[in-house]
Amino acid sequence: MEIRLENLTKVFVEKKQKETIAVNDMTLTIPSGKLIGLLGPSGCGKSTTLFMISGLLKPTSGKIFFGNDDVTKLAAEKRGIGLVFQNYALYPHMTVQQNIMFPLENLNVKRDEAIERTYDMAKLVGIEELLDRKPGQLSGGQQQRVAIARALVKKPRVLLLDEPLSNLDARLRLQTREEIKRIQRETGITTIFVTHDQEEAMSISDEIVVMNYGVTQQMGEPQKVYTNPDNLFVSKFLGNPPINILEGRISKGKLFAGEIELADGFDMENRNVTIGIRPEDFKVDANGFEAKITYMECIGRDTTIRFPLNESSMRALIDSESLVESDKINLTVRKEKVHLFDPETGAVLN
């Protein structure tokens, strides 16, 4: 089921007439059968967007379509959505089976069929052995699977997940996010996954939507958005360690940071630019500029160094292990790997 948002806006008005534009004129098409990660910093409007899609929150203006159906005014329970929140909200006094089956009771599904569908869903999420337990007897990851099974048992048209992994520890998060991906693939259900964790979104999403201040900044396949950010915000939001940002200028096709020439061959007028270089895009090269290592950190396979470049502190990921702090090395960056942004607007220039 394709989901289309047209000029969707939500303005919250609080008591003293203070207005918050949580979602600002959002237009977006979420393709059918895909897993979409809705991503952005705290307060950027992710949950508000999801709640409007679910029908739990009424838009101030704009429209929501499921396929060709305009669902903007349709009640939440009639939209055919499955919702999973970060606190799984399972009924503690019910067994796992009763929890999963609960939504079917209101739908007049016959008991035999309800039990069968419950078992199928439990199997899909891998908890069919735990049907007789109560939520309190399950781990966080298992509880989350029950919540997903409960959301899916109604055969919804759309699955909406709001920070579903944030109560899990690091290892379980990793495992559960792979499970979510598998379940989504097996069911083919259009799924929107809200998170502020860029790595989580990038690792499981077919496409990500990066938001800031209630506005879509960019949508696309994770790797494409990472390598071709449309603006400075997106470039900074994606990547760990983060992209290096510094001010520079283009002069006769060459890129300078202060007096240091970083790369050549830019087909651009002379102008000031904001430069973005990802830490992994610096290469050790005798012909490059000189960098004095001020700090070094080895974590597993990666060595991160820090060095000053025209008064900015840079990070580079390198594979040279024999270096020590205060060593000098020479680094280059390929022109194709350099991101240039307009210093005023942050829009990408190259």
Supply the minimum distance, in Å, between the C-beta of residue 267 and ligand ATP. Answer: 38
Supply the minimum distance, in Å, between the C-beta of residue 229 and ligand ATP. Answer: 19
Distance separating alpha carbons of residues 195 and 246, to the nearest angstrom:
28
Q: Which class for 283: exposed (0-12), middle (13-18), buried (19 or more C-beta within 10 A)?
A: middle
Supply the minimum distance, in Å, between the C-beta of residue 45 and ligand ATP. Answer: 4
Q: Considering beta carbons, is residue 20 or 27 the nearer one to ligand ATP?
A: 20
Kindly tell me the sign of the dihedral angle through the C-alpha atoms of 3, 228, 40, 272.
negative
Three-state DSSP string of 181-248: HHHHHHHCCEEEEEECCHHHHHHHCCEEEEEECCEEEEEECHHHHHHCCCEHHHHHHCCCCCCEEEEE
**Are the C-beta atoms of residues 123 and 100 closer than 8 Å to each other?**
no
Total number of residues that touch ligand ATP (CB under 6 A): 13
Q: Considering beta carbons, is residue 233 or 341 the nearer one to ligand ATP?
A: 233
Supply the minimum distance, in Å, between the C-beta of residue 196 and ligand ATP. Answer: 5
Supply the minimum distance, in Å, between the C-beta of residue 43 and ligand ATP. Answer: 4
Contact code string over 28-57 relative to ligand ATP, x by CB under 6 A: ------------x-xxxxxxx---------
Q: Considering beta carbons, is residue 225 or 246 the nearer one to ligand ATP?
A: 225
Q: Considering beta carbons, is residue 16 or 78 the nearer one to ligand ATP?
A: 16
Q: Considering beta carbons, is residue 46 or 177 the nearer one to ligand ATP?
A: 46
**What residues numbered 179-208 form the site for ligand ATP, per CB under 6 A?**
196
Which of 195, 130, 211, 129 is closest to 162 using CA atoms?
A: 195
20 in contact with ligand ATP (CB under 6 A): yes
Contact code string over 242-271 relative to ligand ATP, x by CB under 6 A: ------------------------------
Supply the minimum distance, in Å, between the C-beta of residue 40 and ligand ATP. Answer: 6
Q: Considering beta carbons, is residue 215 or 317 the nearer one to ligand ATP?
A: 215
Q: Considering beta carbons, is residue 40 or 103 the nearer one to ligand ATP?
A: 40
Residues near 275 by beta carbon (within 8 Å), at least 6 away in sequence: 244, 245, 246, 247, 248, 255, 257, 262, 338, 339, 340, 341
Q: Considering beta carbons, is residue 57 or 250 the nearer one to ligand ATP?
A: 57
One residue of 7, 12, 111, 116 binding ligand ATP per CB under 6 A: 12
**Are the C-beta atoms of residues 314 and 307 closer than 8 Å to each other?**
yes
Which of 236, 213, 214 is closest to 225 using CA atoms?
A: 236
Residues near 129 by beta carbon (within 8 Å), at least 6 away in sequence: none
Which ranges constitute the DSSP H helices of the chain? 46-54, 96-105, 111-125, 140-152, 170-187, 198-204, 222-227, 232-237
Supply the minimum distance, in Å, between the C-beta of residue 127 and ligand ATP. Answer: 27
Residues forming contacts to ligand ATP in the complex (CB under 6 A) are 12, 14, 20, 22, 40, 42-48, 196
